[in-house]
Structure 1
Amino acid sequence: MIEKLEATSAEAQSADLVADNIAKLKTLFPGLLTESANGAAINVDVLKALVGDRTASDLDEKYGLNWHGKRRARQLALTPSTGTLRPSPEESVDWDTTQNLMIEGDNLEVLKLLQKSYASKVKLIYIDPPYNTGKDFVYPDNFQDNIKNYLELTGQIEGGAKISSNTEASGRFHTDWLNMIYPRLKLARNLLQDDGAIFISIDDCEVANLRKICDEIFGEENFIATCAWQKRYSRENRGAIGDAHEYLVAYGKNAELFQQVRGLIAPTEEQTKVYRNTNNDPNGRWRPIPMTAQGYRPNQMYEITTPTGAKHLPPEGRCWGLVEPEYLRLLEQGRIYFGRDGSSQPNIIRYLSELEGLVPWTWWPSSEVGHTDEARKEIQSIFGSQSLFDTPKPTRLLQRVLEIGTKPGELILDFFAGSGTIGQAVFAQNSLDQGNRRFIAVQLPEALENKEFPTIAELTKERLRRAGTKIRAENPMFSGDTGFRVFKLSNSNIRAWNPAHDDLAKTLFDHEEHLLPDRTEEDILSELFLKLGLDLCVAAQTRLITGKRVHSIGGGVLIACLAEKITREDVEALGQGIVAWHQQLAPAGDATCVFRDSAFADDVAKSNLAAILEQHGIAKVRSL
């Protein structure tokens, strides 16, 4: 019996001669292949050079990193978003008082939407982007309409999830990752303060490319360090050399300014155990520091007499570390130690309370900042025994980043928030130093195989809720902010112009109302925040004026009345009521007043209301 071959498996297909030839060339000359839109391709100029052809062009030779799609990735960062952020108070914690944000959405679009409200306001950005592992990573990839693509991915409109494949077999292994990260870093830089910095977790696969990208975006002169984090503490019996570390690549927006304000890290237990208090000194634990210095300085070569009468000169080749008047001042204060018998060479007493901090090194051992096993146990301590997230970072690692890069009161951004470690780290660090740091965490609702938490974004929100509760339980004296406001990426509240060419009259009628019918006043207010450059956590008040809800944002900087109907009869009372409230609020700057355009009965009503407001100093009157 002759077995019938099925033409559905790779084994049944004929040999791919082109692929075989490319594989052989790659073995002989790795630098000969380059990535292209269609996969691996031959670099003809390199081939000519390898065979000694002197006609090989060097016109395109320049220092830098190039790949297929770089121009489009650069343009993508400049393309404005057509989306908005819709508030979700029911999923938030302490909505009315918190200054923290958790935003669910594609971070590329979210970064675009944050440009006006948070430009140059973020002190520290930390991100842990998807590593280039040869597996798929899910991000919207429709450059024509990224919002539509995102809504399809999340099942909000028909179309189904789209997966941006990034497998090694695609021939675009590095290219797809670079096209994903490049525009996001371009946008992120705009949000940093001049003395701010970005820390990026990465592994060996893309660390070299990441350095080149960051050199281009942030400037080579603004490179701060590449820190090695010991992610494992036990050895593995596989591979030629065990994989025990990852990196944190750090750049400043202006490295010189960052250097002036960067933080010191807290001393470890190992570093402080040498401080003791054997004599019950009321100033606490201390240690002796030898009072000598290298070299010869005539004014530091005096004789010292100890309490027992012993006399000392500096050791050969050295001098005292202090001039004599400074030594005598410390001696009078009881800050000089002559050993247990009172006759040894002098030492300066240094108290533990005077140890302000240490300059961090580029080597971050797991004993100081945690490891991957600790990170997984942290997740389990919050959610029970469930294994919900494969690649969390330990909270202590992010606290180290916060120590170096922030001070209390500053803003932190993580636009690959994952399980939400950044929020827990901010809560924990604030509880340690009674700080009031705030964060913005952004996470794509990527699907998880978990009924309780169907997406990573749902996991992020729940971890933040539980982490806040845990911090308060462990630190009952801490009264800081452990809440967060939730916003979700969506298409704009303002109806897009999309004419039906076969029925223009119907199109004009449909667009008479500019706002989408299913949107709340709170939805529209949030979009106004973004368009006017207001913080999404800005304080808001609401009062009824002639039966219509009027919102005051930021102490009267923005006043909005989004009522659906304003008649001629309403105008006088509504206008005078707004004016009276505005005068009571007395905002520092010019106020903007916004109304729903379709609400006015006619142009007369609109003009009259604008005139009343302008006569009383509210010159910026807008309609949606």
Structure 2
Amino acid sequence: MTNSALANKNDDDMLDMHSPNLVDDNVQKIMALFPNCITESEDENGKPKKAVDFDLLRQELSQSLVEGGQERYRLDWPGKRQAILEANSPIAKTLRPARDESVNFDTTENLFIEGDNLDALKLLQESYLGQVKMIYIDPPYNTGNDFIYEDNFAENTEDFLERSEQIDEEGNRLITNLESNGRFHSDWLTMMYSRLKLARNLLREDGVILISIDDREQANTKSLLNQIFGSANTVGTFVVVRSEGGGLAKNLIKGHDLLFAYAKDITKFAPLLRPKDIRGKTEVIDGEEYWIEEDWLREEFGKYGTCDYNDIIKFFDKRKKEEIDAGIESGKYVLIEKGDKTIVGRYRKISEDGSKFYSVIKHLNKNGANDLKKLGLDKEFSYPKPVSLLKDMILGTTFFKQDKNAIILDLFSGSGTTADAVIQLNAEDGGNRKFIMIQIAEPIDSDKQQDAYNFCQENNFEANIAEISKERIRRAGKNIIKDNQNNQNIENLDIGFRVLKIDSTNMKEVYYTPDEYSQAELDNLESHIKEDRTGEDLLFQVMLDWGVPLSLPIEVKDIQGSSVYYVGIDSLVACFDTLTTDLVDEVSKDEPLKFVSSELAITHDQDKTNIKARFAQLSPDTQVKFI
């Protein structure tokens, strides 16, 4: 082979003729774990190649702030390293159930988490790691008038317990990011970076994240997504037409926003699909609806137009005729008389046959307002996203039957549009998709948001966005049931949601740092659990710590006079009241996967050993732990 032929030969056809490049393999492994740590450099020939940003990698593997760094191709801003540090720092917090604010608390699989979404993402890392099919984010657009999170950074994690207890952490988390702020864009980037990093962990390998944004931060948003998810995982960018007339901006009439879509792993991601425009005949076979595609041979038949069955041999080969005949005999194909021709139709299952999205989609702001007007909430929110937009994206992500029980996460719940869309879709196609909404209790200004403030006052709500968002979901669920009374899909429709509020840990500081206390101090402590916490509070912190899904059904049983919590039938059983041998024997009959109790529930230290031994004898596969 000549040198010129060698140069022109396709790389896939070439043997490497050398041992494996272990450095490249290691770079690929690092890229899979930390895509934000991969940058570009030049090889000895001046050609671009992937390289590891070791400064960022050091930061990912460190619990303290790492300084340094040479110039390279990347998005940088003051606060980036702190954002990485904050994303990786632990917090001493928990989720406390709020039954009175929930709907169908014990049986619903939907969650509404009230609090800072950064804290929520950290708390969800164990229970929902790699479990979420779609994440939607409609963050503050950084207009200069909206709120962003004021994150609290520290240079190490030694004081994280103290830091997580600070009142300001909960009371003053939101600030107005004025354009006069010298770190106007940097503060916004810092807020988004840590949240996107943690959100990526929750996505399934075939999952997707979608982010709505406008021109102010669209370039920075795309750069963030490229760093955190990797540019190779770009699904695409939608132009979302939101106003038919447009809004008068400084230099032009603007009537659209952008919607970025990125996959967790593009090689495992199925394209977003929407119901196909069915133009052929339809038939119901064994309860499934099929359509008959009449022109499927046209592409192969080309310039000759619609293919007549009798001409297949003339324009194709013998194998094609045999394939068609076998398909007709098996019922895969059907012959259709059309004019003077006999057309070969092909059966396609409607539920599994979709078309890809066009990059320009129309979902008007006024439709979002109308969605809320139907619920009597049209004056409480400004510029709500229309339900149609979220329905399209959720359906596109969960188009196939196996995904219709997927988890949908919204980090900035706002008006609760995503939850409304999930329930509506489930009512329409019988799916069992679950939602997780996260919304901080953003205060409502009585002067600037008078209608929303008055609404909260009239309904005895605290004046914050989370309260109105929860009420929207309550009303939406009732409305969907009312509008679908003759729809068999609503028999098991989940319109409930379990409200969980972020709070400080249930445990006193001694639980985390017992070495800092003398034996006398320990002896005088009545409990290492805070006095105002209930058994159900403890249960949810155990679920978080043990990685148990927070949406599993919960049943409370009275056994031997003690309250015993059964989560997911027998996935986890918990009892924080006094334990007796009879109670342990009774629980052991159910052979739970996990059992947890408190050391306060036992009388003597040796009782813990005895209880573990009892489970080992009666239910040997049960994991037993105490708090």
TM range (shorter): 0.7 to 0.9
Aligned to 2:625: 622
Q: Contact 1:382–1:463 at 8 Å: present in 2 too?
A: yes
3-state secondary structure, aligned to 1:382: coil
Sort the Cα spacing of 1:373 and 1:184 in 2 relative to 1 into closer, same or farther, 3 A: same
**What are the Cα deviations for residues 119-170 of structure 1, in whole angstroms up to 9, with x where unaligned?**
1111111111111212241424223569967974697xxxx53543422111
Aligned to 2:418: 422
Deviates more, 1:504-513 or 1:185-194: 504-513
- State the identity %: 34
Sort the Cα spacing of 1:292 and 1:131 in 2 relative to 1 into closer, same or farther, 3 A: closer
Deviates more, 1:595-604 or 1:166-175: 595-604
Q: Distance in 2 between matches of 1:552 and 1:594?
A: 11
Q: Contact 2:309–2:343 at 8 Å: present in 1 too?
A: no
Sort the Cα spacing of 1:151 and 1:470 in 2 relative to 1 into closer, same or farther, 3 A: farther
How far did residue 581 of structure 1 move?
A: 2.7
**What are the Cα deviations for residues 320-348 of structure 1, in whole angstroms up to 9, with x where unaligned?**
99944566789998634443xxx4x6655
Q: 2:274 aligns with which of 242, 265, 274?
A: 265
Aligned to 1:578: 584
How far did residue 82 of structure 1 move?
A: 0.9
1:487-506 mapped onto 2 (5 Å cutoff): 487-497=500-510
Q: Does 1:401 align with 2:393?
A: yes
Q: Distance in 1 between matches of 2:558 and 2:327?
A: 69
Q: For the pair shown, which has the larger CA radius of gyration, 1 or 2? A: 1
Q: Does 1:255 align with 2:286?
A: no
1:464-613 mapped onto 2 (5 Å cutoff): 464-476=473-485, 477=487, 478-479=490-491, 480-497=493-510, 508=522, 511-563=525-577, 566=578, 574-583=580-589, 585-587=590-592, 591-613=593-615
Q: Distance in 2 between matches of 1:377 and 1:321?
A: 59
How far did residue 409 of structure 1 move?
A: 0.8
Q: Does 1:79 align with 2:89?
A: yes
Aligned amino acid, residue 469 of structure 1: K
Q: Distance in 2 between matches of 1:238 and 1:213?
A: 26
Q: 1:382 aligns with which of 375, 378, 382?
A: 375
Q: Distance in 2 between matches of 1:390 and 1:225?
A: 27
Sort the Cα spacing of 1:227 and 1:612 in 2 relative to 1 into closer, same or farther, 3 A: same
Sort the Cα spacing of 1:490 and 1:419 in 2 relative to 1 into closer, same or farther, 3 A: same
Q: Distance in 2 between matches of 1:331 and 1:337?
A: 14
Q: 2:191 aligns with which of 175, 180, 193?
A: 180
Q: Contact 1:512–1:598 at 8 Å: present in 2 too?
A: no
Aligned to 1:451: 454
Aligned to 1:436: 432
Aligned amino acid, residue 469 of structure 2: T
Q: Contact 1:286–1:352 at 8 Å: present in 2 too?
A: yes
Q: Contact 1:337–1:348 at 8 Å: present in 2 too?
A: no
Q: Distance in 2 between matches of 1:602 and 1:397?
A: 59
How far did residue 238 of structure 1 move?
A: 5.0
Q: 2:238 aligns with which of 227, 238, 242?
A: 227
Aligned to 1:46: none
Aligned amino acid, residue 621 of structure 1: V
Q: Contact 1:288–1:337 at 8 Å: present in 2 too?
A: no
User: How high is the TM-score relative to the length of structure 1?
Assistant: 0.75
3-state secondary structure, aligned to 1:170: coil
3-state secondary structure, aligned to 2:273: coil
Sort the Cα spacing of 1:399 and 1:536 in 2 relative to 1 into closer, same or farther, 3 A: same
Sort the Cα spacing of 1:597 and 1:241 in 2 relative to 1 into closer, same or farther, 3 A: same
User: How high is the TM-score relative to the length of structure 2?
Assistant: 0.74
Aligned to 1:280: none
Sort the Cα spacing of 1:313 and 1:292 in 2 relative to 1 into closer, same or farther, 3 A: farther
Number of aligned residue pairs: 521
How far did residue 616 of structure 1 move?
A: 2.9
Aligned amino acid, residue 576 of structure 1: D
Q: Distance in 1 between matches of 2:254 and 2:89?
A: 40
Q: Does 1:372 align with 2:378?
A: no
Sort the Cα spacing of 1:383 and 1:321 in 2 relative to 1 into closer, same or farther, 3 A: farther
**What are the Cα deviations for residues 162-207 of structure 1, in whole angstroms up to 9, with x where unaligned?**
5434221112121011100101111111111111111111112222
Q: Distance in 2 between matches of 1:182 and 1:510?
A: 45
Q: Distance in 2 between matches of 1:529 and 1:410?
A: 20
User: CA RMSD for the aligned pairs?
Assistant: 3.7
